[in-house]
Amino acid sequence: MDEEYYSKPDDCLQLNRLLYKNLGNSIYIYGSLSNPLINGKFIFKDDNVTSNHRDYYTIRDGLCFYGKYNEDAFLRVEIGDPHNRKAPFGEKLAALSEVYGALYEKFGNPLVFYTVKDDDEGRLSLQWCFKDKELNLEKFDFDMYFDDAEIERVIPVYGTDKDEKYGLPSELVELVDDDFRKFKKIPKEKVKSLNN
């Protein structure tokens, strides 16, 4: 029988700290510190906002952010539609790219990118597994259900390189669209070096 692992409040608190350290005012986490589930909003950086203060309307319009973390077993982060609108796929992918970038130094590449069917928020998910990676990858490939939801799309990214231009695992570059490019700020020196 497979051993089950659950997200832990203390681990989620450590994840919150890492996200705030690396994303600053782009991430807004709310909820109980004793909760093994992270809920919050992702807001794209605005060069005109110099403090960590965000008003209610800016936060309300931010993309939904979710996380689960057990340092011995797994990490999952998800970006979904705000409650007041449907966000373009590329906007959510650009936000996921920012979160991935904030986590990459500590965790490296995730095991898989996936989506689930009939998800009202259209969430895009990245899942890291810290043990039995090959076995977990097989489960994603062959199991139709995960966390009581039917998997719609799975892209394995374990073992691939990080694409420096788009800030994504290289396997996900094929998903980049015009909406992604509109929201993702690509440093000018990266664009210059890639064009040479």
Separation between Cα atoms, residue 138 and residue 147, nearest integer Å: 16
Whether 65 is covered by a domain: the verdict is: yes
Q: Quick one: pLDDT at residue 66?
A: 94
Separation between Cα atoms, residue 143 and residue 155, nearest integer Å: 14
The mean pLDDT of 80-85, rounded to a whole number, is 91
- Return the exposure string of 105-127: e unless at least 16 CB atoms fall within 10 Å of the residue's CB, then b: eebebbbbbbbbeebebbbbbbb
Whether 60 is covered by a domain: the verdict is: yes
Count structural domains, the chain. Answer: 1
Q: Which domain holds residue 153?
A: 9-195
Q: Quick one: pLDDT at residue 60?
A: 73
Q: Quick one: pLDDT at residue 187?
A: 57
Asked if pLDDT for residue 125 goes beyond 90, the answer is yes
Whether 2 is covered by a domain: the verdict is: no
Whether 77 is covered by a domain: the verdict is: yes
Separation between Cα atoms, residue 123 and residue 143, nearest integer Å: 19
Whether 1 is covered by a domain: the verdict is: no
Phi, psi at 195, each rounded to 5°: -85, -10
For the chain, give the mean pLDDT. 83
The mean pLDDT of 84-104, rounded to a whole number, is 95
- Give whole-number Cα distances, 132 to 129, 137, 156, in Å: 7, 9, 15
Asked if pLDDT for residue 53 goes beyond 60, the answer is no
pTM of the predicted protein model: 0.86
Q: Quick one: pLDDT at residue 68?
A: 94
Whether 4 is covered by a domain: the verdict is: no
- What are 156's strand-pairing partners? 112
For residues 182 and 90, the answer to whether their CB atoms sit within 8 Å is: yes
Q: Summarize pLDDT for 54-69 with one digit per residue, the tens.
A: 565 567 788 999 999 9
Whether 3 is covered by a domain: the verdict is: no
Asked if pLDDT for residue 117 goes beyond 50, the answer is yes
Whether 163 is covered by a domain: the verdict is: yes
